[in-house]
Amino acid sequence: MSLASTERRSRSWWREHQQRLTPYVFLIPGLIFFLVYVIIPIFESFWLSGFKWDGLGEKTWIGMANYRELFDDEAFYTSLKNNIIWLVLYLLAVPAGLFIAIFLNQRVRGIRVYKSFFFFPFVISQVVVGLIFAWFYAPNFGLFYLLVEKLTGTGIAVLADPDLVTYGIIAAGLWPQIAYCMILYLTGLNAVDPEQVEAARLDAAKGWKMLWYVILPQLRPATFIAVVVTVIGALRSFDLVSIMTDGGPFGSSRVLSFYMYEQALSEYGYRMGYGASIAVILFLIMMVFISGFIWKMVEDERQGN
Amino acid sequence: MRSMLTLSISAAAVVAASASFADQRVVRYYADYDPAPLAAMEEIIADFEAANPDIDIQLQNFDHEGYKTAIRNFLSADAPDLANWYAGNRMAPFVNSGQFMDVSDVWEEHGLKDSLASALPSMTIDDKQWGVPYTYYQWGIYYNKTAYEQVGASVPETWDEFLANCALFKEAGIDCVTTGTKALWPGAGIFDYMNLRTNGYEFHMDLANGEVEWTDDRVRATFAEWAKLVEPGYVTENHAALEWQDAASLLVQGKAANYVMGNFAVAVFKEGGMTNDTLGFLPFPTINPDVPRAEEAPTDTVHIPSGATNVEDAKAFLAYLAGADAQTKINAAMGQLPINKDAEVAQDDPFIMAGFELLSTTPGGIAQFFDRDAPAEMAKVGMEGFQQFMVQPDQLDNILDRLEKARQRIYQ
């Protein structure tokens, strides 16, 4: 008797709140995974960065010693400098993608084929891009090397030169990134209102003015995504560095994410605490951008655009 | 990822196999052999199983690079009964964290301290032995005989003669010494020999063990000798962007004359078309005649993890692998040198013969290689320094300061 009544009561409670609760119930699996694989590891990294640990033996608490060492570590500053170069130059992919998109945004016979050619580098894996460019730069037989040799008499081995190597890798990274930005802008251009363009034409706008005042404002969502993706892509640049140079020559092409991997997980590393402290610094740098992006999205939502 | 997959597949296979041979005792063996030595090892296992029908050795082979990562996981999570690894300081982390088992009793019982004497020091930590070595190979200088004839150089015995040859090669537009340091370690081979020949084995090991400052005058003396090679441009330009195989092809093509390398490179030279008539081997020339000659011979080993479940049979297999027959067989397949002094070496291979002669008559001592003698972190920082020195010799002071800073941190 009492059992039946509680059952009825609980069922009616569920029925009463069903509408409100269902979204949360659907969110739970996602939240659990986000918690386990993103949020908790972030705090674990902070915690781990206070230890000296080789991943096998005992952990020893050393407080801020990892950070003290990090701020006195030449390799860290090289990586940080390279990260900044990456960030600045990688953003060139945004305007470059825009201009290719505008160039391709026309109705010519077979335009889809041309578009797909331009999109092609984004489809191939970063590993393949890295290999192609490594061969392109390779001393003695690489196309780039031979070309420079033909023009100037002496070839340049980009990947062996500590001053050029980072630029060489960024050039490789730009190739697929430009294609990605181009696709974002091509879809954006589809959504440009032809009536506005028509109206602008009537007002005698053309060329740069047309682009700046009429087209670009309508492409703002595409620009936003292109910048976000490019900034994050620049900060996590890892695969190309790993494949093309392994951080070399003598560490001059390292970026923070690669240095972290090297210290924590590579053959000669297994300094988990030190790796974690690099991860923390990288996280804090990323946080600046991520909170900026989130702030902007929230602002936009509030204003209702 | 792939190795994890094969690992779990093999685990399933092990379960299936042990179910069907319930009367056999299973020994699980994880290794990282290349195809030729793998075939030889399978033969050795078959021989061993024929002699011990109640033991079933189940070999799970990994690829080299994957193995280096996987071993850290499987030693603690799912330990096999036998595992491949390396001698010297390279095994120290596993020994110190208690992941490898003390096998001194195997050494005592089977007289290995005598038959494997040349590798005893590199297998010993805290007066105990932690595994059994089965192969090593010599390092030295491989040279292109045609290039030597072309410039009229004779095979050098001293460093001065070697440098004089370099001047001849330079004039002819041939790289005197080639190397490809993209993966860093080939440069360490050159450093090891420069240091062994300048300061000797004891000093070299003290340096690798962190007991000497990198800013010491004796270290500077080593680099001063090395600078005689680097500063006049006798080393292949752009070596920092070359894999060691790329540099090997320079030697094959006659664009380079000498290559400081391990004996495994012979296979690559020969694939490139060199023969015993065009490829030569010479011991690294004498720099300081007062230090006894020491050589470099990295040793590969088999260990019993502490988590092993079938220790008895694993020890029986180790003892078998230490024997002359097994070592003869696997080293014939690998083209390397057996450690067991009663084992035979291939008489028709001049490079193996030269290596055997070189190592068995070494008065000074046998080093493992910089990245096995020094702790991993020091090895990494050091090898980057060596590479930088060969690109920017004027940065020597900075490099040595950096290495010294690393030494103070790593060995504390």
Greater model confidence, A42 or B18: A42
Cβ distance B384 to A54 less than 8 Å, yes or no, reads no
Residues of A in contact with B237 (CB under 8 A): 139, 157
| Claim to verify: residue B210 and residue B84 sit in the same structural domain | no
Query: pLDDT tens digits, residue range B302-346?
Result: 999 999 999 999 999 999 999 999 999 888 888 889 988 888 887
In a domain, B355, yes or no: no
Same domain, B145 and B260: yes
List CB contacts of B275: < 8 A, sequence separation 6 or more.
none
Taking 70 as the threshold, does the pLDDT of residue A275 lie above it?
yes
> Which one of A11-15, A19-23, A150-154, B285-289 scores highest in mean pLDDT?
B285-289
What mean pLDDT, rounded, does chain B reach? 89
Report the distance separating Cα A295 and Cα A302, nearest Å. Answer: 11
Q: Which of B208, B201, B203 is nearest to B292 (CA)?
A: B201
Give the residue on A whose Cα is nearest the Cα of B249.
A140
Which pLDDT score is estimated for B15? 46
Q: Which residues of B touch A60 (CB under 8 A)?
A: none
Structure tokens at A293: 């992006």
Nearest CA in chain A to B387: A250
Q: Round to whole Å and give the CA distance between A29 and A14.
A: 20
> Residue range A62-85: average pLDDT?
92
Chain B closest-CA separation from residue A278 CA (Å)? 16
User: What are the domain boundaries of chain A?
Assistant: 2-48, 69-303
Q: Is the pLDDT of residue A110 over 70?
A: yes
* Closest residue in chain B to residue A56, using alpha carbons only: B97
Determine, for residues B69 and A56 on separate chains, whether the beta-carbon distance falls below 8 Å: no
Residue of B nearest to A140 (CA): B238
What average pLDDT does this structure show over B219-233? Answer: 95
Pick from A170-179, B178-187, B356-365: least confident: B356-365
Angle at which helix A220-235 crosses helix A74-90, to 10 degrees, equals 160
pLDDT of residue B59: 93
Count CB-CB contacts under 10 A for residue B322.
23
Chain B residues within an 8 Å CB radius of A157: 237-238, 240-241
Average pLDDT, chain A: 89
Would you call A246 and B183 a contact, using CB atoms and an 8 Å cutoff? yes
Question: Strand, coil or helix: what is B59?
Answer: strand
* B contact test, residue of A58, A62, A268 with most B CBs within 10 A: A268
As a whole-number percent, the residues of chain B with pLDDT over 70 amount to 94
- Is residue B225 included in any domain, yes or no? yes
Question: How many angstroms separate the CA of residue B276 from the nearest CA in chain A?
Answer: 27
Asked if B13 and B20 touch (Cβ cutoff 8 Å), the reply is no
Is A162 in Cβ contact with B238 (below 8 Å)? no
Q: Is the pLDDT of residue A1 over 50?
A: no
Q: Is the pLDDT of residue B10 over 80?
A: no
Query: Is B44 an 8 Å CB contact of chain A?
Result: no
CB-facing half-sphere around the CA of A68: CA atoms within 13 A: 7
Question: Domain limits at B331?
Answer: 2-115+302-336
Choose, out of B182, B253, B405, B408, the residue to mutate when testing the contact with A (most A CBs < 10 Å).
B182
What's the start-to-end Cα distance of chain B, in Å? Answer: 35
Q: Which of A249, A265, A268 sits opposite B377 (nearest CB)?
A: A268
% of chain A with per-residue pLDDT over 90:
52
Residues of A within 8 A of B184 (CB-CB) are 248
pLDDT on residue A6: 59
On the question of pLDDT at B69 being above 70, the answer is yes
Mean pLDDT, to the nearest integer, of B232-248?
Answer: 92
Residue B79 and residue B63: Cα distance in Å, rounded? 18
Cβ contact B82:B28 at 8 Å:
yes
Question: Is the Cβ of B119 closer than 8 Å to some Cβ of chain A?
Answer: no
If you average pLDDT over residues B34-44, what whole number do you get? 87
Give the position of tokens 């001065």: B160
Per-residue confidence band for A44, with pLDDT thresholds at 50, 70 and 90: very high
Pair B400, B287 in one domain: yes
Give yes or no for residue B6 having a pLDDT over 90: no
- pLDDT above 70 (res A67): yes
pLDDT at res. A46: 95
Both B150 and B109 in a single domain? no
| A160 vs B76, B241, B371: nearest CB | B241
DSSP state of B305: B
Domain edge (last residue) among B285, B314, B336? B336
Which burial class, exposed, middle or buried, applies to B112 when counting CB atoms under 10 A from its CB (0-12, 13-18, 19+)?
buried
For residue A269, the chain B residues in CB contact (below 8 A) are 376-377, 380
Residue B100 per-residue DSSP state: B
- Chain B contact set for A265 (CB, 8 A): 69
Which three-class secondary structure string do you get for chain A?
CHHHHHHHHHHHHHHHHHHHHHHHHHHHHHHHHHHHHHHHHHHHHHHHCCEECCCCCCCEECCCHHHHHHCCCHHHHHHHHHHHHHHHHHCCHHHHHHHHHHHHCCCCCCHHHHHHHHHHHHHCCHHHHHHHHHHHHCCCCCHHHHHHHHHHCCCCCHHHCCCCHHHHHHHHHHHHHHHHHHHHHHHHHHCCCHHHHHHHHHCCCCHHHHHHHHHHHHCHHHHHHHHHHHHHHHHCCCHHHHHHCCCCCCCCCCCHHHHHHHHHHCCCCCCHHHHHHHHHHHHHHHHHHHHHHHHHHHHHHHHCC
- B131 touches B199 (CB < 8 A): no
Q: Is the domain of B51 the same as that of B176?
A: no
H helical segments located in B282-373: 311-322, 324-334, 350-360, 370-373
Answer yes or no: do B275 and B195 share one domain. Answer: yes
List residues in chain A touching B: CB distance below 8 A: 54-57, 69, 74, 137-140, 157-160, 162, 245-246, 248-251, 262, 265, 267-271
Which H or E element spans position B198?
A: helix B185-208
Helix (H, G, I), strand (E, B) or coil at B367: strand
* Residues B260-288 pLDDT 10s: 999 989 989 999 999 999 999 999 999 99
pLDDT band at B68 (very low <50, low <70, confident <90, very high): confident
**Of A1-15, A105-119, B317-331, which gets the smallest average pLDDT?**
A1-15
CATH number of the domain to which B50 belongs: 3.40.190.10
Buried b (16+ CB within 10 A) or exposed e, B186-211: bbbbbbbbbbbbbbbbebbbebbebe
B350 domain residue, yes or no: no
Query: Does the residue B197 lie in any domain?
Result: yes
Nearest to A249 among B94, B240, B246 (CB): B240
| Topology, domain A69-303 | MetI-like fold (1.10.3720)
Query: Inter-chain contact B181–A55, Cβ cutoff 8 Å?
Result: no
SS (H, E, C) B167-189: HHHHHCCCEEEECCCCCCHHHHH
Q: pLDDT band for B376, please (50, 70, 90 cuts).
A: confident
Q: Residue B22 — pLDDT band, cuts 50, 70, 90?
A: low
| pLDDT per position as a tens digit, B348-367 | 889 998 998 888 788 888 89
Are residue B290 and residue B220 in the same domain, yes or no? yes
Same-domain status, B90 and B150: no
Contact A249 B388 (CB under 8 A): yes
Per-residue pLDDT of A84-93, as tens digits, reads: 999 999 999 9
Mean pLDDT across the stretch B96-114?
92
Considering CB atoms only, which of B93, B238, B409 is closest to A139?
Answer: B238
**Number of structural domains in chain B:** 2
Whether residues B385 and A250 touch (CB distance < 8 A) is answered with yes
Of B275, B269, B272, B297, nearest to B284 by C-alpha is B297
The pLDDT of residue B251 is: 95
CB contact under 8 A, A267 and B182: no
The answer to whether the CB atoms of A160 and B96 lie below 8 A apart is no
Is pLDDT at B17 greater than 80 in this prediction?
no
Residue B14 · residue B73 · CB < 8 Å: no
Q: What is the pLDDT of residue A106?
A: 84
CB–CB of B182 and A271 under 8 A? no
Q: How confident is the model at residue B89 (pLDDT cuts 50, 70, 90)?
A: confident
* pLDDT, tens only, A280-302: 999 999 899 889 989 988 998 88
Question: What per-residue confidence (pLDDT) applies to A5?
Answer: 57
- CA–CA min distance B116, chain A (Å): 28
pLDDT at residue number A267: 76
Helix or strand or coil: residue B60? strand
> In 3-state terms, chain B is what percent helix, strand and coil (to 5)?
55, 15, 30
| Option in A56, A138, A249 nearest B97 (CB) | A56
**Tokens 């993608």, located at residue:** A97
Q: Interface pTM (ipTM) of the complex?
A: 0.79
pLDDT-derived band of residue A57, with 50, 70 and 90 as boundaries? confident
Task: Look at residue A4 and tell me whether its pLDDT is greater than 60.
Answer: no
Residues of B in Cβ contact (< 8 Å) with A69 = 409
Whether the CB of B73 is below 8 Å from some CB of chain A: the reply is no
Assess whether pLDDT exceeds 50 at residue A208: yes
How wide is the angle at C-alpha A223 spanned by C-alphas A217 and A226, nearest 5°?
175
CA distance to partner chain B, nearest, from residue A162 (Å): 9
In a domain, B365, yes or no: no
State the Cα–Cα distance between residues A215 and A218, nearest whole angstrom: 5
Q: Clarify whether residues B398 and B281 are in a common domain.
A: yes
Average pLDDT over residues B101-120: 90
What is the share, in percent, of chain B residues with pLDDT greater than 90?
63
Mean pLDDT of B105-128: 89
Min CA distance, A218 vs chain B (Å)?
44
Tell me the mean pLDDT in the region B28-41. 88
Q: Which of B74, B220, B221, B236 is nearest to B159 (CA)?
A: B221
Tell me the mean pLDDT in the region A17-30. Answer: 90
CB A180 within 8 A of CB A122: yes
A193 versus B10: the higher-pLDDT residue is A193
Is the minimum CB–CB distance between B336 and chain A shorter than 8 Å? Answer: no
Cβ contact, residue pair A265, B69, below 8 Å: yes
Residue B392 pLDDT grade (very low, low, confident, very high; cuts 50, 70, 90): very high
Of B93, B242, B380, nearest to A56 by CB-CB distance is B93
Contact A139 B379 (CB under 8 A): no
Q: What is the pLDDT of residue B81?
A: 95
B26 shares its domain with B79:
yes
Asked whether residue B342 is assigned to any structural domain, the reply reads no
Its sign, for the CA torsion B73, B77, B78, B79, is: positive
In the 8-state DSSP scheme, what is residue B73?
H
Of the candidates B257, B275, B273, B254, which has an alpha carbon nearest to the alpha carbon of residue B143? Answer: B257
- Check whether residue B262 and residue B383 sit in a common domain: yes
| In the block, residue with structure tokens 């596993």 | B94
Determine the pLDDT at residue B78.
87
pLDDT at A20: 87
Out of A89-98, B8-17, B231-240, which region has the weakest mean confidence (pLDDT)?
A: B8-17
B387 close to A (CB below 8 A): yes
Q: Which residue has the tokens 């001393």?
A: A139
* Domain shared by B144 and B108, yes or no: no
